[in-house]
């Protein structure tokens, strides 16, 4: 796929502010699922404890297509106890969605991850969710978010963040707090226009930062990460730089990408 058609986004949200519901709607409306396909609630929460408690413990990845653009989603743990993992997965992103409840405003759980995101100078799209709640106060929530960005010393170019208003439960987003409540398209369009495509020269030597490790009973350990230079091909000879400083020769045996939340084999 043309590199200019790729968007890598992290999602930052407090517990119960609607992150999982929002992601479920993004996948449903982008056509990831067939009309007759059963979709489990909490699509991104694959661990039993996550489904039970509605929290993100381990970062997960997923992907969908919208108007020829591949949008890769990186779900982030929200607690400071997972700080190392948060920083690693944010380095896979080129921008972030900050999801905030229209009634509660930004909560402490979001501060830690947002601060990490701002340190990397990732552009942010602010989503004010649950605007359908009778007690919702979306304009107040926007002011609270701006104050938080200032408190965290956000760079000036990130302070001018775009805002999307949403009801993930009802399946719509808006560019203004009032307007036709139709679909998730306003959010999709904002992601395409505001989040940059990944940088990196595909003709340069291969560089890939492995940000998380998964496991397959057939293939063993799987490295998940972002290519920052070069191209990844099957049977390509590489060198793995280990944490102890050793360099280990290896060969690429399989390359996969995400379709929905499933890994699908690809040749590049």
pLDDT of 59-101, one tens digit each?
Answer: 578 999 999 999 999 987 655 445 567 788 899 999 999 999 9
Report the SS3 class of residue 182.
coil
What is the rounded average pLDDT for all residues in the chain? Answer: 85
Residues linked to residue 262 through DSSP beta bridges, in sequence order: 259
Tens of pLDDT, residue by residue over 142-200, are: 999 999 999 999 999 999 999 999 999 999 999 887 777 889 999 999 999 999 999 98
Pair 173, 250 in one domain: no
Pair 235, 174 in one domain: no
Residues linked to residue 96 through DSSP beta bridges, in sequence order: 10, 124
Asked if the model's pLDDT at residue 201 lies above 60, the reply is: yes
pLDDT at position 65 is: 94
Pair 70, 34 in one domain: yes
Report the SS3 class of residue 134.
coil
Instruction: Give kind and range of the element (H or E) at residue 183.
Output: none
Pair 70, 137 in one domain: yes
- Percentage of the chain with pLDDT > 90? 53
Out of 194, 229, 250, a domain closes at 194
pTM of the model: 0.85
Q: CATH number for the domain including 156?
A: 3.40.50.300
Give the angle subtended at the CA of 92 by the CAs of 91 and 97, to the nearest 5°: 90
pLDDT at position 52 is: 52
pLDDT at position 58 is: 43
Residue 268 within a domain: no
Instruction: Give kind and range of the element (H or E) at residue 101.
Output: strand 95-101
Residue 267 within a domain: no
Helices (runs of H) and strands (runs of E) counted in the chain: 7, 13
Asked if the model's pLDDT at residue 140 lies above 90, the reply is: yes
Instruction: Give me the sign of the Cα torsion angle 27, 28, 32, 33.
Output: positive
CA distance 36 to 21: 20
Domain of residue 223, residue span? 207-262
Q: Give exposure, 184-214, as e/b (b: 16+ Cβ within 10 Å).
A: bebbbebbbebbeebebeeeeebebeebbee
Pair 37, 73 in one domain: yes
| Residue labelled with tokens 């995400």 | 258
Pair 110, 219 in one domain: no
The pair phi, psi for residue 184, each rounded to 5°, is -90, 0
Instruction: Give kind and range of the element (H or E) at residue 18.
Output: none
Pair 35, 127 in one domain: yes
């Amino acid at each position: 796929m043309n590199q200019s058609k790729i968007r890598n986004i992290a999602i930052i949200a407090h517990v119960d502010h609607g992150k999982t519901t929002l992601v479920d709607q993004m996948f449903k409306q982008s056509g990831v699922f067939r009309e007759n396909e059963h979709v489990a609630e909490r699509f991104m929460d694959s661990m039993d404890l996550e489904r039970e408690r509605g929290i993100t413990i381990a970062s997960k990845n997923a992907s969908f297509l919208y108007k020829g653009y591949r949008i890769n989603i990186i779900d982030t743990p929200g607690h400071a106890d997972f700080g190392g993992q948060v920083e690693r997965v944010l380095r896979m992103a080129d921008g972030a969605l900050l999801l905030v409840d229209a009634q509660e405003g930004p909560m402490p759980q979001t501060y830690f991850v947002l601060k990490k995101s701002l340190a990397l100078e990732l552009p942010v799209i602010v989503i004010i969710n649950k605007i359908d709640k009778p007690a919702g106060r979306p304009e107040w929530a926007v002011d609270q978010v701006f104050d938080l960005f200032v408190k965290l010393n956000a760079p000036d170019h990130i302070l001018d963040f775009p805002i999307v208003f949403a009801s993930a439960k009802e399946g719509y987003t808006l560019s203004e707090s009032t307007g036709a409540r139709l679909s998730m398209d306003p959010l999709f369009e904002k992601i395409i226009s505001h989040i940059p495509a990944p940088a990196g020269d595909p003709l340069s030597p291969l560089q890939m930062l492995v940000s998380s490790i998964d496991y397959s009973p057939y293939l063993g350990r799987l490295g998940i990460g972002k290519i920052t230079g070069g191209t990844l091909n099957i049977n390509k000879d590489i060198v793995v730089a280990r944490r102890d400083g050793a360099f280990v020769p290896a060969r690429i045996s399989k390359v996969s990408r995400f379709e929905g939340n499933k890994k699908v084999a690809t040749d590049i």
